Amino acid sequence: MQERQYLDTAQQSASTGDMHPEEFRTYAHQVVDWIADYLINVESYPVFAQTAPGDIRRALPAHPPAEPESMESILVDFERVIMPGITHWNAPGFLAYFSNTGSGPGILGEVLSAALNVNAMLWRTSPAATELEQVTLDWLRQMLGLPYPLFGVINDTASSGTLYALAAAREALPLHIRQQGMAGRADVPRLRYYASQEAHSSVDKAGIVLGIGQEGLRKIGVDSEFRMDAAQLEQAIQEDIAAGWQPFAVVATTGTTSTTSIDPVPQIAAICERYGLWLHADGAYGGSAAVDPEMRWTLAGCERADTLIINPHKWLFTPVDCSVFYTRKPDVVKAAFSLVPEYLRNTASTDDEVTNLMDYGTSLGRRFRSLKLWMILRYFGHVGLAARIHEHVRLGQLFARWVDESPNFERMAPTPFSTVCFRAHPQSMDDETRLETLNERIMNRVNAAGHFFLSHTKLHGKFTMRVAIGNLRTTEQHIRELWQELQTILATEVALEQ
């Protein structure tokens, strides 16, 4: 049996060069077993890769393989060379940036999508991929409590989504920039868009790419809770109009990157409506929380946004990548991006009735990302997703309470979701330079110990640690252990100083 199998493999390899399906079956079983074991044992790895720069590169051959290699040896090297350089985003102790989860159904969706290998650029290049994307995003819209209709597409990242939103906003101006560009035109005023000082860097990058320039983005100040000051926004718009700028868009954030603050979207929407500006809402992190009906308030006003992004690959248990882009104005987005070369032109009569998702962004090729999201929405159901988000928010609030009750730690920002910004601040220490060093050392020691991975930000110039709870596997027990570890490290650091 074994011999015959290898005979087939040899014949098949000779004819197609690819792995024989039976050989594939053998290794697929092996890989699935490996994945299941990995998910069981993910806590046994140091969360934060304990490698030095260049370690992995040096362990790999400098030259490409000239001859075919066996799958056995490739998988051995995966374990031996690659795994030590992995930072384990799927570990319950991963609490840095915005933690996420490659959930079981999400991983299975990725596997099937790779097997089908469809490219959903046109409806006809895989009708199910296009239609599933539309249905899945409409389900998600309903789970989030957003009004019908809302057109949705899935992009790789929120950074792409924000770029597309601002490109559409620019196209909505009667300046024909898509056709004529901006450079050298006396009839095009300098364009300006607005976001808070706390907005994500992808908002700045969109301006760079769109030729609006970094000066075209005016950063608006925030209140004591890191939320955009709507009065300052309106004043800035008026000043800019008086100075000859053409304001065209505002980016409001629901869950900013540093503190997860929520901009006052209803007020910002009213300003946008008054001045005829495009409102883009960045809910890359915070948007997912609204699947929990108790968290729906966090999306208040977003129903008035022209475009809205939400990243299931942050807090909806979907493996990277999957960023949802919703718009109330699909025609404008399409007008900004649709460009159909002859070889992609509709030729069948049905093609006029269909949506071709390549028309809503710069990428032609599109992965079948909706498959994994569809599986996740079905596997967990609305109730299951809401329960997980609810639990993460509970854990975040619990950790925030421990910080507030401790004489040696302090919270650095409100905690509207499940991300806590805090620092150590022993009663005896008020020197900011010492506090900065102390907190940096504490965070580096936590990360080096390997059970947890934390990241940081600076708030009012002060070094601030962040604990972002969003992984399905993170439990109260983990949070308690982290709190204990922080206190132990703080005690030893303070003792060392004395």
Q: Scanning the structure block, which residue is given the tokens 């020197």?
A: 431
Amino acid at 212: I
Q: How far is the CB of 440 from ligand PLP (least distance, A)?
A: 21
For ligand PLP, the binding residue among 157, 246, 457, 475 (CB under 6 A) is 157
Nearest to 211 by CA among 233, 185, 234: 185
* Residue 149: cis peptide before it, omega within 30 degrees of 0: yes
Closer of 100 and 126 to ligand PLP (Cβ): 100
- 302 counts as binding ligand PLP under rule CB under 6 A: no
SS3 279: strand
| First-to-final CA distance of the chain | 72
Minimal CA–CA distance to 369: which of 140, 59, 133? 133
Q: Is 382 helix (H, G, I), strand (E, B) or coil?
A: helix
The count of chain residues that interact with ligand PLP, using the rule CB under 6 A, is: 15
Q: x/- string (CB under 6 A) for ligand PLP, residues 217-256?
A: ------------------------------------x-xx
CB of 43 to ligand PLP, least distance (A): 24
Task: Find, among 301, 272, 101, the residue nearest to 283 by Cα.
Answer: 301
The one among 259, 318, 323, 474 contacting ligand PLP by CB under 6 A: 323
Tell me the window of 121-129, 151-159, 171-179, 361-369 that interacts with ligand PLP (CB under 6 A): 151-159
Is residue 158 a contact point for ligand PLP (CB under 6 A)? yes
Asked if 375 and 108 touch (Cβ cutoff 8 Å), the reply is yes
Question: Is 158 or 302 the residue whose CB approaches ligand PLP more closely?
Answer: 158
The only residue of 45, 194, 248, 285 in contact with ligand PLP, by rule CB under 6 A? 285
Q: Sign of the CA dihedral 42, 418, 200, 458?
A: negative
Find, among 312, 287, 292, the residue nearest to 100 by Cα.
312
Exactly one of 202, 419, 464, 474 binds ligand PLP (CB under 6 A); which one?
A: 202
Shortest distance (Å) from residue 334 CB to ligand PLP: 22
282 makes contact with ligand PLP (CB under 6 A): yes
Q: How far apart are CA 139 and CA 132, in angstroms?
A: 10
Nearest residue (CB) to ligand PLP, 256 versus 298: 256
DSSP-derived letter for residue 79 is: I
15 SS3 class? helix
Can residue 311 be called a binding residue for ligand PLP (CB under 6 A)?
yes
Q: How far is the CB of 444 from ligand PLP (least distance, A)?
A: 22
Residues that bind ligand PLP (CB under 6 A): 98, 157-159, 200, 202, 253, 255-257, 282, 284-285, 311, 323
